[in-house]
A and B are shown apart, each in its own frame.
Chain A
Amino acid sequence: MAKIVGALTSSHIPSIGNAISSGKQNDAYWKAFFAGYVPVVEWLDAEKPDVAIVVYNDHGLNFFLNNLPTFAVGAAQEYMTKDEGWGLPLFPPYKGYPEFSWHLIESLVEQEFDIAMCQELVVDHAFINPMRLFWPGQNPPPIRTIPVSVNTVQYPLPRPSRCYALGKAIGAAVASWPGDEKVVIIGTGGMSHQLDGERAGFINRKFDELCLEALVSEPEILARYSILELVREAGAQGAEIIMWLIARGALTGKVSKIHSSYHVPISNTAAGVLALANQ
């Protein structure tokens, strides 16, 4: 059976992609931020997982409000990138793993998560930027991917407790896959930030630190928040921490922290990365 070797969670701020493309990793503004990823990249180099399940939120690239699933799982041979409106660079497609995707889909529905299924899915910066951070210089990265898109655009958003349960269901699905692949689960978004409203620019270091601790040993603490409580504590888009909660939920073994890093601000976001091993 396949095994989840760990969970990696990371911010996905668009400007990260621009910084990588223009080689600004050692500029004063970016240096500390990129340094935070070095131990994670080293862990990946050593561990060499075969499959990445990437839990992210689409920002109006693949999905519009006319037809917006709460949870959607990709089942394509490959995942293309596409113009998101800001002229960000396009990349060669990410390699899919449709057989594994369909197993995941069947298992999730069997576990009563009635997700949407996508044989075509274009991925945006929320998928791309963490891949560029975790596999620097490798486009596409040497790993097969399964995107899981979560609605964070249109309320009602899925409850954190439901997201945590989805993560557990993904964990169970991976454990029942007959292959012997190593799987890493990636959750993207956050940490605290708010782009819109008179409260724009809101950042809550204390709450972010609570998240970084709770996700290691007591994720249930975060699963008990409501979405509006998350918005109050982490800002309107800080609710993206639900993707981290899904990734954490998939870890069912003994969980230990490999590394975490926290940096304020990148654009107007508190940027964080957390790597957890699952034994």
Chain B
Amino acid sequence: MFVVNTQSNKIPGTYIFDGAMAMKGYALNRMCYSFNSAESRKKFKAFPDAYCRSYGLSREQINAVTDLDVLRMLQLGGNIYYLAKLTGIYGMTVQDIGAQQTGKSIDEFRAMLLAQGQLTE
């Protein structure tokens, strides 16, 4: 049998959203998908904990959500395309998320982006 194991092809600092992760994060991602609706965003923001529970998130996932801890949410099965809808509620840009995950200040993170765009040769 031909088996592809995406987790064994480990790329450092990278979360491959395969079937195992999708099962783990289904409730979390399903909640984030609901944030396409302004009404849902409003309900969530008023009572985050209760909203998370109504989608069946685990206590660990709820804590990661209320802490806005992106790495933790990824480890618990969150997918960035959906998580971005959650972080957007709090006005976090993708640069803010990047800075948080890499432990850099926003200025340090921007400097890193710029540096990688420079010609090296």
Contact = CB atoms under 8 A, between A and B. Distances in A.
Interface of A: 15, 59-61, 64-66, 82-87, 153-156, 194-206, 228, 231-232, 236-237, 263-265, 267-268, 270
Interface string B96-121: 01100110000001101110111110
10 smallest CB-CB distances across A and B, nearest first, come from A264-B117, A199-B13, A198-B13, A85-B85, A196-B80, A203-B116, A265-B113, A200-B98, A155-B18, A86-B88
A197 B74 contact: yes
A203 B113 contact: yes
A164 B32 CA distance: 32
B95 to A, nearest CB: 6
B70 A196 contact: yes
Contact of A267 (B15, B85, B93): B93
A264 B110 CA distance: 11
B30 interface: yes
Contact of A197 (B26, B37, B101): B101
Given A197-B15, A264-B117, 16 more contacts: A60-B82, A65-B29, A83-B37, A85-B89, A155-B16, A194-B14, A195-B80, A195-B94, A196-B15, A196-B80, A198-B71, A201-B102, A201-B109, A203-B117, A236-B80, A264-B113
Contact of B117 (A153, A195, A228, A265): A265
B6 A155 contact: yes
B68 interface: no
B17 interface: yes
Interface of B: 4, 6, 9, 11-19, 22, 26, 29-30, 32-33, 35-38, 41, 70-71, 74, 79-85, 88-89, 93-95, 97-98, 101-102, 109-110, 112-114, 116-120
Contact of A228 (B16, B33, B81, B110): B16
A60 B82 CA distance: 6
Given A87-B38, A156-B6, A236-B14, A196 B114 contact: no
Given A199-B12, A267-B93, A268-B94, A60 B85 contact: yes
Contacts of B79: 60, 65, 153-154
The residue in B14, B88, B93, B114 that gathers the most chain A C-beta atoms within 10 A of its C-beta is B14
Given A203-B113, A231-B11, A83 B102 contact: no
A200 B38 contact: no
B89 to A, nearest CB: 8
Contacts of B37: 83
Nearest to B88: A86
Nearest to B17: A155
A11 B59 CA distance: 37
A64 B71 CA distance: 22
A268 B81 CA distance: 15
Given A197-B71, A198-B12, A205-B119, A264 B94 contact: no
A153 B81 contact: yes
Contacts of A199: 11-14
A200 B70 CA distance: 11
5 contacts: A60-B36, A83-B38, A85-B85, A155-B6, A228-B9
